[in-house]
Structure 1
Amino acid sequence: MTFAAPNSAPDPAPNPSPTPPIWTAPPKPRGSGMVFAIIGIVVTGFVGLLVLAYLAVGLGVPTLLIGSLLALVPLAMVLLAVRWVDRWEPEPRWALWFAFLWGAAVSVAIALIVDLGVQLAMAFAEPGGAPDEALQAVVQAPFVEEVAKGIGVLLIFAFSRSHFDGPVDGLVYAATVAAGFAFTENVLYFGEAFAEGGAETLGATFVVRGLFSPFAHVLFTACTGLAIGIGARRGGGAGVVGWFLLGLLGAIALHALWNGSLTFADDAIGLYLTVQVPIFIAAIGLTVLLRRQEVRVTRHRLAEYGAAGWFSPAEVEMLATPAGRRQAKAWAKAQTPPRIGVMRKLITDATHLAFTRQRIATGVASERTIVEEQGLLAAVVEDRRVLLS
């Protein structure tokens, strides 16, 4: 796969001096990203309090605490994996917080409200009747939950376009939303298991949900995130909605397959090993390939800036390869005083610069993207000045 720019894409502006000067770029326009962050986190946090109150009333505070502590185990596993995926081009913290709170609060609230509505409708239609649990597991839960989670990822794309460059970003946001949803769902399942069957039932539920399938929701919602990321790389706009619907269809189908296998299978362990484990391994392989693609994009685009005089060949190697970054951080830690923070900022700014250049070179940039490029060049210049002073 090559990443050569189309003929219509201009080359990066040449560096006016072998040593990049300190200059002031045009101010970046204040977009809706930070406003969205504040409003989004406040709203999702409020919904989270309502969900917490609902769980406390339904389970009782002691049971809620037990379920929450156990749910932290699979949550930590998922978040560590997300951090590994997100290391190359880290997403902004506010966006990740919004994603987590959307999954843990808003998505759960939507699922609970829909489930209550279904139960009320069944009660009116057939007094004394109970909803079909298998139908709920294979049809209702996959559709409602994946739509609820997917809307969160789509909102992040809509209000934080500059931080949503491609499939890896979509995977990171989708996985974070799914981690939040799975955390609250696990609290509920663990609490109910303890309340109904004591420690023995709780232990069995923890093994199945916390150890055997901590990444289940991540796998489902990743379909939606990857699809939105592909749409973003192809130019964004209204076409992303089509990609979102396509990814959502895949997420619902995978979720239904997973729940159906647990509901109808005679040999749950055999099906887990022959169906669910291969799906998980395939997801790992795809993630590794996407990360390698990010490395190639970074190296190719920073080399263009290097040809224009913004980086030396050694700096491109340092900023665009895993080995170079490790050596750079080790050097920064050994300085007196240590400058690891500045080195990390330089790596982050250079990586964002490379992906901003990718949008320009592939013809999906806007005027805002050009301004972002100038701001990132200024940031890289300042990072180098502080680092070498």
Structure 2
Amino acid sequence: MPASPQLVARALVGSPLKRPLGGCLFVGGMLVLLGIAFLGHLALWILEPVGRIGVFLTAAAIGTVASLPLMIVLRWLDRRERESLWLAVGVTVWGAVISTGVSGMFNALGFGFLSVGLEIVGGVESATLGEFLAAALVAPPVEEAFKGLAVLVLFWFLRAEFDNVRDGIIYGALVGIGFNIAEYALYVMQGYAATGAAPYAEQFAGRFVFLGLNGHMLWSAICGAGIGFARQSRDGCLRLGAPVAGYVAATFGHALNNSVGVFMLAIFLVAMGYDLENGMSAVPAGATWVAAAGMNVLVQGIAYLVLLALLVLSSRWERDVIRTYLADEIGISVTPDEYAAIVKDSMFGMMRGRGAQWKLALAQNELAFRKWHVARDGGDPASDPLVTAWRQDIAALRVVTKQ
């Protein structure tokens, strides 16, 4: 469903895209990224026969379907101030297309430099060691940078659609989901090219351990949370340091997974009685899943706890903003009964009503967040045109709910 002109106009309130220089920078930057991504994908695809492309597309479809439950959970987490569906889809596509393509180029360059360096210094066959070092030292900072860039673009160019830590988590998670889908499909295709059999189940067991609530989604969500802190905070040091801290934490978690996690996965499988001398080809998908699940819990356990804590704190912040900035709307945009329900809202509370009633509650929340935005930037909510627009929407929805 295409975005409505009104939705686009509101998303662009305060955006640099409305200024010529900002628009030119955005278009120029996107063209550069798309060009690099195109070259990255071209290097992967140019020599692939049609049969392998079919395997890739099949795996991509499997990964997309497997990711739907997690996307639904993210949609529920975003229930108080729901972002448009087109924006969520666009962020996911960024992860699947731009982040993977650009990362592929830089990962290949990193692997090349490492391999040459190892051969010069050690004078030994360095392919395996180079691959391991690239996975542990090159891929994490590169991939987290180009996944995090998607969230940073939203933060800078669509500030009206970016409110707090929770928005950063959701946008980051969507980028990670897109990246995971594309990476799963790519590794399935490469496995098919190497063995003649597409390892759908084996790759699925390792990359969709908890239906995608792991790996790229987890790291990108933490990276996005750091950018969300910058959007939410008034402290100058925190606004500069939080995105860096989020990126470093995501990169560290990714590197830990690609180094310690690999060894731990092997230890689990050997302890289960599997011989890994000839690789993972002889290991059943079920055993891979058990080992990968155990590895994720142990290696990424702290990251899961951090993400959970951030979700709890962001829920509390959202409810506080809604209560605070709708308190003076009683009798204007909120009835006493509606405000009483708002005050009673809990962390796992559902939005009020269905249909027009649900849209009314969502518009009231949008009004609260917009007033917070304006007040935070030192403006007067009473004179803000978008605040007025949300009040008009609420009045119109109120008429519909009474019919």
Shift in alpha-carbon separation, 1:324–1:280, aligned structure 2, 3 A: closer
Aligned counterpart, 1:5 = none
CA distance in 2, matches of 1:113, 1:200: 24
Deviation at 1:345, TM superposition (A): 2.8
Shift in alpha-carbon separation, 1:353–1:236, aligned structure 2, 3 A: farther
SS of the residue corresponding to residue 79 of structure 2 reads coil
Stretch deviating more after TM superposition (247-256 or 196-205): 196-205
Matches within 5 A, 1:76-91: 76-91=68-83
Matches within 5 A, 1:70-219: 70-121=62-113, 126=119, 129-130=126-127, 132-197=130-195, 199=197, 201-212=199-210, 214-215=212-213, 216-219=215-218
Stretch deviating more after TM superposition (193-202 or 206-215): 193-202
Stretch deviating more after TM superposition (375-384 or 210-219): 210-219
Stretch deviating more after TM superposition (316-325 or 371-380): 316-325
CA distance in 2, matches of 1:48, 1:77: 28
- Tell me the matched-pair count: 349
Tell me which of 30, 36, 53 is aligned to 1:61: 53
Deviation at 1:133, TM superposition (A): 1.9
| CA contact 2:144–2:220 (8 Å) conserved in 1 | yes
Deviation at 1:143, TM superposition (A): 0.5
| CA contact 1:45–1:101 (8 Å) conserved in 2 | no
Shift in alpha-carbon separation, 1:137–1:74, aligned structure 2, 3 A: farther
Shift in alpha-carbon separation, 1:234–1:324, aligned structure 2, 3 A: closer
Aligned counterpart, 1:228 = 227
Tell me which of 311, 316, 325 is aligned to 1:287: 311
Deviation at 1:30, TM superposition (A): 5.8
| CA contact 1:66–1:191 (8 Å) conserved in 2 | no
Deviation at 1:343, TM superposition (A): 2.9
Deviation at 1:278, TM superposition (A): 5.7
Q: TM-score, normalised by structure 1?
A: 0.76
Stretch deviating more after TM superposition (369-378 or 195-204): 195-204
SS of the residue corresponding to residue 274 of structure 1 reads helix
2:187 maps to amino acid: Y
User: RMSD in angstroms over aligned alpha carbons?
Assistant: 3.5
Q: What stretches of structure 2 of length at least 5 have no aligned partner? A: 1-8, 269-290
CA distance in 2, matches of 1:49, 1:187: 17
Aligned counterpart, 1:372 = 386
Aligned counterpart, 1:253 = 252
Aligned counterpart, 2:337 = 314
| CA contact 1:138–1:256 (8 Å) conserved in 2 | yes
| CA contact 1:138–1:257 (8 Å) conserved in 2 | yes
CA distance in 1, matches of 2:179, 2:366: 29
Q: TM-score, normalised by structure 2?
A: 0.74
Matched, 1:267 2:296: no
| CA contact 2:70–2:211 (8 Å) conserved in 1 | no
| CA contact 1:317–1:324 (8 Å) conserved in 2 | no
Shift in alpha-carbon separation, 1:84–1:328, aligned structure 2, 3 A: closer
| CA contact 2:79–2:351 (8 Å) conserved in 1 | no
| CA contact 2:261–2:299 (8 Å) conserved in 1 | no
CA distance in 1, matches of 2:220, 2:196: 32
CA distance in 2, matches of 1:222, 1:188: 22
CA distance in 1, matches of 2:171, 2:28: 15
2:55 maps to amino acid: T
Deviation at 1:262, TM superposition (A): 2.3
1:267 maps to amino acid: I
SS of the residue corresponding to residue 267 of structure 1 reads helix
Q: Higher relative contact order by CA 8 Å / sep ≥ 6: 1 or 2? A: 1
| CA contact 2:40–2:105 (8 Å) conserved in 1 | no
Deviation at 1:46, TM superposition (A): 8.3
1:79 maps to amino acid: M
| CA contact 1:104–1:183 (8 Å) conserved in 2 | yes
Deviation at 1:98, TM superposition (A): 3.0
Shift in alpha-carbon separation, 1:247–1:371, aligned structure 2, 3 A: same
CA distance in 1, matches of 2:377, 2:14: 18
Deviation at 1:42, TM superposition (A): 8.6
SS of the residue corresponding to residue 211 of structure 1 reads coil
- Cα deviations by residue, 1:14-47 (Å, 9 ceiling, x for unpaired): xxxxxxxxxxxxx9786547777x9699968888
Deviation at 1:354, TM superposition (A): 1.1
2:208 maps to amino acid: G
CA distance in 1, matches of 2:34, 2:67: 18
Shift in alpha-carbon separation, 1:221–1:70, aligned structure 2, 3 A: same
| CA contact 2:168–2:221 (8 Å) conserved in 1 | yes
SS of the residue corresponding to residue 90 of structure 1 reads coil
CA distance in 2, matches of 1:280, 1:239: 22
CA distance in 2, matches of 1:387, 1:33: 37
Aligned counterpart, 1:353 = 367
| CA contact 1:170–1:227 (8 Å) conserved in 2 | yes
Deviation at 1:316, TM superposition (A): 2.1
1:222 maps to amino acid: A
| CA contact 2:36–2:101 (8 Å) conserved in 1 | yes
CA distance in 1, matches of 2:225, 2:391: 29
Deviation at 1:287, TM superposition (A): 1.9
Shift in alpha-carbon separation, 1:325–1:181, aligned structure 2, 3 A: closer
Deviation at 1:349, TM superposition (A): 1.4
Deviation at 1:298, TM superposition (A): 1.7
CA distance in 2, matches of 1:89, 1:81: 14
CA distance in 2, matches of 1:365, 1:163: 19
CA distance in 1, matches of 2:40, 2:67: 18
